[in-house]
Amino acid sequence: MTTRRLVLTRSAALVGAASTGLLLPEIVRAQSSKIRVGLMLPYTGTFAPLGVAIENGFRMAIEQQGGKIGGREIEWFKVDDESDPSKGVENASKLVQRDKVDVMVGTVHSGVQMGIQKVARDSGVLSLIPNAGVHAATRGLCSPNVFRTSFSNSQPTLALGKPMMERGLKKTVWITWKYAAGDEAFEGFRDGYTKAGGTVIKELGLPFPNVEFQALLTEIAALKPDAVACFFAGGGAVKFIKDYAAAGLKDKIPLWGSGFLTEGVLEAVGPAGDGIMSTMHYSDSLDTPRNKEFRLAYAKMFRQQPDVYGVQGYDTGLLLVQGANAVKGDLSNKQALYKAMESTTIDSPRGKWKMSKSHNPIQDIYLRRVENRENKVIGIAAKQLEDSGAGCKMA
Ligand code: PHB
């Protein structure tokens, strides 16, 4: 009885307050409160430049909207995840429980992403993946509140085999860091390459983020394959490209890779990078007004050339802005928010793309060649490629 009377009394008071306009400040405060954005990215270690590029791109997209998301200002929270999978759950929990973020943006490393995925699924907080390609995030462990704006790990490498075989490269050695990203990139490579008729004669690997390549390069020289294909990125990619050239392999055995190998590293590797062939969902030299305008704005804002990571960060910002605008900044209207994000078209510097049913981009994969410190497009290696999304059942 007491409870009921209290409720009645309160609602009567509310009606009274509303009619006199006393409630207004409350409502205004609720609608104009800031959106809490949590960035969980690597700011130290071999992937640090990737984290910075993603944050740059993300901020630029929002800056271009007057610094607001769905009409609301932003309060920023940041965690350096160090690309350390053992701290993934703890770091994501800090953002969700301590900082009470409305949205998590992260991360780069597939192992760390598994921690974020757990926290996202348990808490229901919106989670935007601006890089990490781990299959589970948009396959078996997919979730309505998780959206990836980058790629799945096997997406870029699926397209490598055909152009390699067209160039008569029938026997290949694969080399990578042994963790989810390298293993799943290999899955894509093996499937595409063997289907095109190629043979993987040896799989080589080393633990992430190890860069002691010497013994493995000696083994490659002895195996004399037609080509080498690989997955490396960030600081490790710089070292691999330089060591490959220094070992005298550059002009003997063509080097191919998932395009991350040559992203954000071309200034650092110089001529050692020339001639590397790769497949990727972006290329610096895409000759479209959208890409040119993006590259100019990014270079102006950050005094640095953008790479694929900057593009992915930028697209993450576009997705969030478009979703939030559709619900007028009310991110708690989840059904409408997710629906808007599922159906929107992202007008990206990489080309326009949409989400697959399991929330991963359906996108063109370009064939590229490094020339004069630039990733030049040679053609389209796969048109509108969609990840299988195998095992994804959205609730
Ligand atoms: C990953 O761990 O998923 C990953 C990291 C760096 C890349 C691509 C994928 O460049």
Ordered DSSP codes for 293-327: HHHHHHHHHHSS---HHHHHHHHHHHHHHHHHHHT
Using most ligand atoms within 8 A of CB, pick from 40, 46, 47, 240 the residue to mutate for ligand 1: 47
Take atom 9 of ligand 1 and give the residue whose Cα is closest.
132
- Counting from 1 in the atom list of ligand 1, the atom nearest the Cα of 309 is 10
Strands (E), the chain: 35-41, 74-80, 103-105, 126-129, 146-148, 171-177, 199-206, 227-231, 255-258, 277-280, 346-348, 351-355, 361-371, 374-385
Q: Determine the Cα–Cα distance for residues 291 and 287; give it in Å rounded to an integer.
A: 7
Specify whether the CB–CB gap between 59 and 37 falls below 8 A. no
What's the 136 CA to ligand 1 centre distance in angstroms? 14
pLDDT of residue 327: 97
- Counting from 1 in the atom list of ligand 1, the atom nearest the Cα of 83 is 2
Q: What is the mean pLDDT of each run of 10 residues along the chain (395 residues)?
A: 37 41 47 88 97 98 95 97 98 98 98 98 98 98 98 98 98 98 98 98 98 98 98 97 98 98 97 98 96 98 97 98 97 97 98 98 98 95 97 86
Take atom 5 of ligand 1 and give the residue whose Cα is closest.
109
Query: In the beta sheet, which residues pair with residue 354?
Result: 362
**For strand 351-355 and strand 361-371, is the pairing parallel, antiparallel, or unpaired?**
antiparallel
pTM assigned to the model: 0.92
Q: In what order do the strands lie in the sheet with 103-105?
A: 74-80, 35-41, 103-105, 126-129, 146-148
DSSP state of 135: G
Take atom 7 of ligand 1 and give the residue whose Cα is closest.
233
The contacts of residue 301 (CB under 8 Å, 6+ apart) are: 56, 60, 63
What's the 7 CA to ligand 1 centre distance in angstroms? 53
Pull the structure tokens for residue 108: 């780069």
What's the 234 CA to ligand 1 centre distance in angstroms? 9
pLDDT of residue 395: 57
What's the 20 CA to ligand 1 centre distance in angstroms? 57
- Give the three-state DSSP class for 11: helix
pLDDT of residue 12: 40
Specify whether the CB–CB gap between 101 and 116 falls below 8 A. no
Domains of the chain: 2-151+287-359 (3.40.50.2300), 155-280+365-385 (3.40.50.2300)
pLDDT of residue 254: 98
